[in-house]
Amino acid sequence: MSDGKEVPWVLAAKTGKIGFANRLGRGDRSPLGVWFWELDRVLLSLMMVLIAIGLLAVAAASPAGAQRLSSSTSQLSSLYFFYRQLMWLIVGVPIMLFISMFPRDQARRFAIWGFCIVFALLVLVPVLGREVNGSQRWIGAGFARVQPSEFLKPFYAVTMAWIISWRLKDPTLPVLFMSSIVTAAVCFFLLIQPDLGQTILFMGTWFALMMVAGVPASRLWGLIISGVVFLVLAYNFYPVATQRIDAWIFGTEGLTHDKMALATLTNGGFIGLGPGLGIKKYSLPEGHTDYIFSVIGEEFGLLACMAIAILYFAILVRIIIRLLDEKDQFIVMAVTGLGVQFCGQAMINIAVNLGVFPSKGMTLPFISYGGSSIWALSITCGLILALTKRNPYLDRSLYMMKGPRP
């Protein structure tokens, strides 16, 4: 400024004394106070609403799942899955909030180290993994059983964004080749399990990162063609893909589940039969996990399903808004990858319940039951919140110095 004085907001940001902020209740400069005002509280609120809806949905689906797993010698409580989901969330939500407090550099390092550790576990799954429902995706037993591929997703998105961002420092680095090798290795171990749905989600995340990174259109078309070739080869040489696609297109035995899901979804009409009054959910397999969206439709109605879909869309839009003024290319790519995973998984699950996609065995984020899923999603959302934090004092001071945008 011409008189040599600093803008009040700049001075306040340097000294930590925010007079105007005190008036708004922003005078707390403790680590917790700074975290609260830097955090995107709208995005956090949307996530918490989704978690609350998930608890209600699992409570509705739990009696059917408990009845299916009960035997003559062991009877499960009708709210068995609800209590366990609540237990997962009691751990998961603090994990999400704790990770959201990380500075950006610390969040990046955490994700990179997490990727290295979880990828090693993924490699060990074929050797040490336990088979459940025909798939070998889990390591451990009982309460300690985890699914490495779930935890790998958020770490993969941030790590790939970090690798691709190297091209900003040195455009000659073959980041496309390096990231494709890592992605191919991840997909290889996923296909062994077998897990076609997660494989497609990882490939979609990688493609989204390539788009955001500014890869030439000719290469993007090459990637699209490669994806189509992959699906054709998978259909012809990968039995799981053959079975799922045949079930979806030609109506073989596997389509029964898809028909049951759609029938359950539409059984409640627009307003639903009411909580606990669903009937078709008792004949629906995996109603508390893969097909929980159909259970919601039966008991709470299609309007509730539409509201959930809108909620996922609102989270995606909020993430995009948060990235509009972001200058750090790594942050843009990392948050884009995390957002694509979160909302893409929701889209795939909803499409499966509608019969648009063949069954993938993929959960509905924060709504389906599952410990590994809940904790992995908590890490995902924690990283999103950590990487999208902004300093409101710095933003305001820059505004005061530069003036409003033309």
What are 304-330's pLDDT values in tens digits? 999 999 999 999 999 999 998 888 899
Best-predicted range by mean pLDDT among 52-56, 218-222, 265-269?
Answer: 52-56
Please state, rounded to an integer, the average pLDDT across all residues of the chain: 81
Token pair listed for 158? 């941030």
List, for residues 332-387, the tens digit of each pLDDT value: 999 999 999 999 999 999 988 888 877 767 889 999 998 889 999 999 999 999 99
- Residue with the larger pLDDT of the pair 92 and 129: 92
Q: Is residue 10 predicted with pLDDT exceeding 50?
A: no
The answer to whether the CB of 197 falls within 8 A of the CB of 348 is yes
Angle between helical axes of 80-100 and 371-387 (0-180°, round to 10): 20
Mean pLDDT of 44-65: 92
Q: Out of 115-119, 173-177, 213-217, 308-312, which region has the weakest mean confidence (pLDDT)?
A: 213-217
pLDDT of residue 71: 62
Largest separation between any pair of C-alpha atoms in the chain: 86
Predicted local confidence at residue 371, as pLDDT: 85
- pTM for this predicted structure: 0.84
Instruction: Note whether 259 and 253 are within 8 A (CB).
Output: no
What is the phi-psi region of residue 286: left when phi exceeds 0, alpha when psi lies from -120 to 50, beta otherwise?
A: left
Q: Taking the CB of residue 240, how many other CB atoms lie within 10 A of it?
A: 17
Q: Is 380 left (phi over 0), alpha (psi -120 to 50) or beta?
A: alpha
Separation between Cα atoms, residue 354 and residue 262, nearest integer Å: 6
**Residue 13 pLDDT > 60:** no
Per-residue pLDDT at 283: 81
3-state percent breakdown (helix, strand, coil) of the chain, nearest 5: 70, 0, 25
